[in-house]
Amino acid sequence: METAAEGEFGGNLKRQLEKLFIWAPDPNNALYLQLSLVASKGPNRKFGDYQCNDIVHRLLSLRVPGDYVEQIEKTVVENLPASEMVKSCSVTGPGFINVVISAEYMAKSIEKMLINGIDTWAPNLPVKRAVVDFYSPNIAEAIHVGHLRSPIIGDTLARLLDYSKVEVLRRNHVGDSGTQLGMLIEYLFENFPAVLTIQDLEVSYKLSKKKFDKDPDFKKKAQCAAVLLQNGDPVYFEAWARICEISRTESTKVIQRLQVKLEEKGQSFYIPYIPNMIEELTTKGLVEEMNGARVISIQDVKTPLTLVKKDGGFTYRTTDMAALWYRLNEEKAEWIIYVTDAGQREHFDKLFKAARKAGWLPANDTTYPRASHVGFGLVRGGEDGRFRSWYSKTVRLVSLLNEAKACSRMSLLKRGKDKEWTHEELDQTAEAVGDSLVKFADLKKNRLTSYTFSYDKMLCDKGKTAVYLLYAHARICSIIKKSGKDIDELKKAGKLALDHADERALGLHLLRFSETVEEACTKLLPHVLCEYLYGLSKQSSKFYKNCQVNGSAEETSRLLLCEATAIVIRKCFHLLGITPVYKL
């Protein structure tokens, strides 16, 4: 029997196991199977660490009689190649093959990671370059709590892709073009020429919108202004540039506070590419005239996609089509990810269908190049139950972050940390904990879930919160520090063993890091990583509760396990945009 290659430790354990689970007594046989495994959870853990529970479905789909399923499973187990990874493999009734991972293999994998670094556990995705389009506020809009989700979800996805060896282009597709800008500029020309602050712009926008809706003459002037702006009129361009400067200054403050990196390429950036794009689509016979406008009709979609309005202006759909063309042809992106609220699903569905009709994207939306809409639920609140762009009195995002910092600082003061730490340490820790509370409170939810904004819930430090995770990390660091041992020297000479049940459980959880990152990345679901991190923190607490570290006979091994846990926790923090603290 062929033996799996020796010395292949770490990385995606699930993927390595699945390579063993190829059953092909004859490559041309209809029963050739590539079986997939899932991590065992709940009561199923007593049977093994991983389970293959898709075999019944696979075999029945091939019209294999049910009576033979269990026998086939036993044959699969009997013919499983020998591997250092697998301690045992068994069948528990039709439909379940259970795998127990070798503790020795897990220990060697963790030792190798400690020496070579956690980047050796990064998954490999079939993509070289991706664009992540996120944040993207409208110009002249103060950044409020309703803007929270896109920057932190988008940043986490960008970090996950970057860790997975994908070159990531982070794009801030700000709304700096269109009728709303023409409307605002015309109103400012008439009523408010000396714009100084973002608050001035907000007030002006609300008033201009009311006038736009009620005054037909002003509406016509605003639409003409938008066309003039898109055609580069110097007077309108100067006003536009000033508005963008004020808005960008406001937006940058928030982005820097959230530790998010972005490159701004707004709607206006793609306007020069629109004529050639429309010419290409026209040459392909895809553009048609409809009521004076130029549109693309899309099968099974009632309303066509408008490229040029009857007044000659462009819509945001036009700039989105141009941006998609640019990202595919100029930036050579293989995966383009749009992180917006779920309400824009229909827009992106229409956009992607138009791109497929044009031959820019393949018909199969699971192959590359690929475009994906990452929708998320709303943060509810404000006067009408939700936070809207340019609407209602809302809680500023910076105010939320400042409040979180203040609450964290108060908690630290109550515990007397001002007597133990310097002022700078207290301030840095309060900000790190406060910002982490806000980020994790959002990221831990499935992104499709809406929730009602609440200071109390957002800043809660009990249960599944960032504070619990930060405490877990600080406690592990404290154990290592109290040992007085040089951890780098231990990595070189020490050996790790996972003899105790809680040592083994912690080691297995560490090795599931890579597959978790891959799942969160490929499914575009940051909460998957949050669940993993919370589970790791709980498992580490159970470990040091039941396994003495310092002064024990197993001290060296357990210190190495502590260090590996701290490394993985910190990498999770990094991927989630959370700043670790080393004492609390």
Encode pLDDT of 398-451 as tens digits: 888 888 899 899 989 999 999 999 999 999 999 999 999 999 999 999 999 988
- 371 and 283: one domain? yes
Strands 33-34 and 167-172: unpaired
Burial of 241 (0-12, 13-18, 19+ CB in 10 A): exposed
**Phi, psi dihedral angles at 490 (to 5 degrees):** -65, -35
Residue 57 has pLDDT above 90, yes or no: no
Least confident range from 352-366, 383-397, 474-488, 499-513: namely: 383-397
- 280 and 158: one domain? yes
pTM above 0.85, yes or no: yes
Tokens of 529: 């990583």
Q: CATH no. for residue 96?
A: 3.30.1360.70
- Count of the separate structural domains present in the chain: 3
pLDDT reported for residue 33: 58
- 236 and 297: one domain? yes
- 188 and 321: one domain? yes
- 368 and 402: one domain? no
Taking residues 287-306, what's their average pLDDT?
93
Q: Does residue 381 sit within a domain?
A: no
| ∠ Cα 514 515 516 (to 5°) | 90
| Integer Cα distance of 196 and 184 in angstroms | 14
pLDDT reported for residue 395: 73
Q: Which residue has the higher pLDDT, 41 or 116?
A: 116
Which of these, 117, 115, 80, lies nearest to 97 by C-alpha position?
A: 80
Least confident range from 118-132, 279-293, 300-314, 341-355: namely: 300-314
**Phi, psi dihedral angles at 336 (to 5 degrees):** -115, 120
Three-state secondary structure call for residue 338? strand
Element (H, E) at 340: strand 335-341
Task: Please report which confidence band the pLDDT of residue 141 belongs to, taking 50, 70 and 90 as the band edges.
Answer: confident
Partner residues linked to 580 by β-bridges:
none
Q: Does residue 214 sit within a domain?
A: yes
Domain ranges, residue 530: 397-576
Task: Please report which confidence band the pLDDT of residue 289 belongs to, taking 50, 70 and 90 as the band edges.
Answer: very high
* Residue 420 C-beta-side C-alpha neighbours within 13 Å: 9
- The packing angle between helices 466-483 and 423-443, to 10°, is 130
Q: Does residue 122 sit within a domain?
A: no
| Integer Cα distance of 337 and 419 in angstroms | 48
Task: Please report which confidence band the pLDDT of residue 528 belongs to, taking 50, 70 and 90 as the band edges.
Answer: very high
The total of other beta-carbon atoms located within 10 Å of residue 56's CB is 17
| Integer Cα distance of 296 and 288 in angstroms | 6
Q: What is the DSSP letter of 403?
A: H
- 404 and 463: one domain? yes
Residue 263 has pLDDT above 90, yes or no: yes
- 423 and 520: one domain? yes
Tokens 């036009």 found at: 318
Tokens of 87: 């301690």
pLDDT reported for residue 56: 62
Residue 536 has pLDDT above 60, yes or no: yes
Q: CATH no. for residue 178?
A: 3.40.50.620
Which of these, 469, 448, 218, lies nearest to 341 by C-alpha position?
A: 448
Residue 66 has pLDDT above 70, yes or no: no
CB of 10 closer than 8 Å to CB of 121:
yes
Taking residues 142-156, what's their average pLDDT?
90
Q: Does residue 92 sit within a domain?
A: yes
pLDDT reported for residue 575: 98
Q: What is the DSSP letter of 89?
A: E
The helices-and-strands tally (H runs, E runs) of the chain is 21, 16
Which of these, 317, 375, 366, lies nearest to 345 by C-alpha position?
A: 375
- 489 and 445: one domain? yes
Taking residues 520-524, what's their average pLDDT?
96
pLDDT reported for residue 3: 37
The total of other beta-carbon atoms located within 10 Å of residue 451's CB is 16
**Contacting residues for 56 by C-beta, under 8 A, at least 6 apart:** 66, 69, 94, 95
CB of 315 closer than 8 Å to CB of 274:
no
Q: Does residue 5 sit within a domain?
A: no
Which of these, 268, 244, 390, lies nearest to 318 by C-alpha position?
A: 268
Q: Does residue 115 sit within a domain?
A: no
pLDDT reported for residue 1: 31
**For the chain, what is the mean pLDDT?**
87
- 404 and 504: one domain? yes
Residue 383 has pLDDT above 50, yes or no: no
User: CA torsion 205→207→213→216, rounded to 10°?
Assistant: -100
DSSP 267-308: GGGGGGGHHHHHHHHHHTT--EEETTEEEE--TT-SSPEEEE
Tokens of 270: 């793609």
Q: Which residue has the higher pLDDT, 42 or 496?
A: 496
pLDDT reported for residue 73: 78
pLDDT tens string 177-224: 888 888 999 989 888 767 678 888 888 888 999 999 999 999 999 999
Residue 157 has pLDDT above 70, yes or no: yes
Residue 503 has pLDDT above 80, yes or no: yes
pLDDT tens string 308-355: 999 888 889 999 999 999 999 999 999 999 999 999 999 999 999 999
**Phi, psi dihedral angles at 453 (to 5 degrees):** -65, 135
Q: For 363-465, where are the alpha helices, taking DSSP H only?
A: 397-414, 423-443, 455-458
Residue 391 has pLDDT above 50, yes or no: no
Partner residues linked to 288 by β-bridges:
295
CB of 184 closer than 8 Å to CB of 140:
yes
pLDDT reported for residue 356: 96
Q: Does residue 452 sit within a domain?
A: yes
**Phi, psi dihedral angles at 52 (to 5 degrees):** -105, 105
Q: Does residue 151 sit within a domain?
A: yes
pLDDT reported for residue 514: 96
Burial of 441 (0-12, 13-18, 19+ CB in 10 A): buried
| Integer Cα distance of 247 and 233 in angstroms | 21
The total of other beta-carbon atoms located within 10 Å of residue 414's CB is 9
- 323 and 452: one domain? no
Residue 4 has pLDDT above 60, yes or no: no
pLDDT reported for residue 72: 75
pLDDT reported for residue 36: 73
Task: Please report which confidence band the pLDDT of residue 584 belongs to, taking 50, 70 and 90 as the band edges.
Answer: confident
- 343 and 418: one domain? no
Q: CATH no. for residue 515?
A: 1.10.730.10
Question: Which of residues 313, 341, 376 is at a domain's end?
Answer: 376
Partner residues linked to 89 by β-bridges:
99
Residue 25 has pLDDT above 80, yes or no: no
The total of other beta-carbon atoms located within 10 Å of residue 278's CB is 20
- 313 and 450: one domain? no
Residue 290 has pLDDT above 80, yes or no: yes
Taking residues 271-277, what's their average pLDDT?
95
Tokens 């508005």 found at: 243
Q: For 145-260, where are the alpha helices, taking DSSP H only?
A: 149-163, 179-191, 198-214, 216-230, 234-257
| Integer Cα distance of 11 and 124 in angstroms | 9
The total of other beta-carbon atoms located within 10 Å of residue 98's CB is 22
